[in-house]
Amino acid sequence: MAIQLAIPRLSRQARPTVWMPAVAVTLFVVAYTPLVARSIHVSLPSPVHAATQQSPVTPPSASAHLPTVQAATTTVPSQSCTPIDFPDPSEISLALQPVGLSAQLDKPTTYQIYGDTAAGLRTQIQHCAPGAQGAKPAEFTAETSYKLNWQYDVTLSNRGCSLADVRVGMHTATVLPYWQSTATATTGLAGRWQNFTTALATHEQGHADLDRQYATTLLSDLQAVQNVDCSTLNQLVHAVITQNVNALNSANDNYDRTTSHGATQGAVLPTR
């Protein structure tokens, strides 16, 4: 009897399974500035309820925005960027995948910005990065998100219920800013920008690596559910998933703390 548990988009209704309520969870979504990450943790619903809940975590107010630049130095670029609509990664169709982990890491999506000064680039980021809404500027430079889903069979023996043919899918996507230097750009800005975006990509890759690592752990933990009381299987699987979700969130938070949200890796947006 195949059981598939998936993470739908927030706007979708969770799908019921054959014999137990669907367990849906939207996992860790992170939006990054050079100095701080905004984390949105979405809680794992109880086995009885399939609705997805959202609980944003507010970043420290002292460093929650892009670096401050004097307004007098801001220039208006000859071209304006286009705000990006960055969709959530889609579920991996596990029915078409082999048993085990199926991981998909997309090539980074970019949104192009224009300008000749660091202040101009910052202004464009505020208007076109993920999260910008009309007159409300974006607070963050880049965004990484993932979608995790899983599927398994249940086998019954005289020793109890076991999970078999476990499949776990991890789909990760990232959006980063893109700027092409011009002949009139501030001296040295191109080099500083390149250093920043290289370090920012490295920081984002670190989160993607953690996502894959903990997806592998989830796979192992689900495979280890063997010969348990069938009446408690639903509760046990829910506990295993919850534990892994919390561990992944903690690992990403700890990674941001130890790297100062990428700053120690060089992900500091140029201010000149």
pLDDT higher than threshold 80 for residue 40: no
For the CA atoms of 235, 238, 240, 241, the dihedral, rounded to the nearest 10 degrees, stands at 180
Is residue 82 a part of any domain in this protein?
A: yes
Is residue 271 a part of any domain in this protein?
A: no
CB 27 within 8 A of CB 42: yes
If we measure between CA atoms, which residue out of 132, 131, 121, 108 comes closest to residue 179? 121
Burial class (CB in 10 A: 0-12, 13-18, 19+), 109: middle
Is residue 272 a part of any domain in this protein?
A: no
- Output the pLDDT for position 131: 85
- Which domain range does residue 235 map to? 2-265
Structure tokens at 154: 């249940």
pLDDT band at 36 (very low <50, low <70, confident <90, very high): very low
Q: From the CB of residue 157, how many other CB atoms can be counted at a distance below 10 Å?
A: 9
For the stretch 61-86, pLDDT in tens is: 222 234 333 333 344 455 789 999 88
- DSSP H helical ranges for 160-188: none
- What's the pTM value of the predicted model, to 2 decimals? 0.72
DSSP state of 173: E
Q: From the CB of residue 111, how many other CB atoms can be counted at a distance below 10 Å?
A: 22
What's the domain count of the chain?
1
For the stretch 77-124, pLDDT in tens is: 557 899 998 888 999 999 999 999 999 999 999 999 999 999 999 999
Mean pLDDT of the chain: 75
Sign of CA dihedral 261, 136, 78, 73: negative
- Output the pLDDT for position 18: 25
Between 224 and 133, the higher pLDDT residue: 224
Q: From the CB of residue 29, how many other CB atoms can be counted at a distance below 10 Å?
A: 19
Is residue 139 a part of any domain in this protein?
A: yes
Residue 142 pairs in a beta bridge with: 32
Instruction: Output phi, psi for 175, to 5 deg.
Output: -125, 135
Amino acid occupying residue 176: L
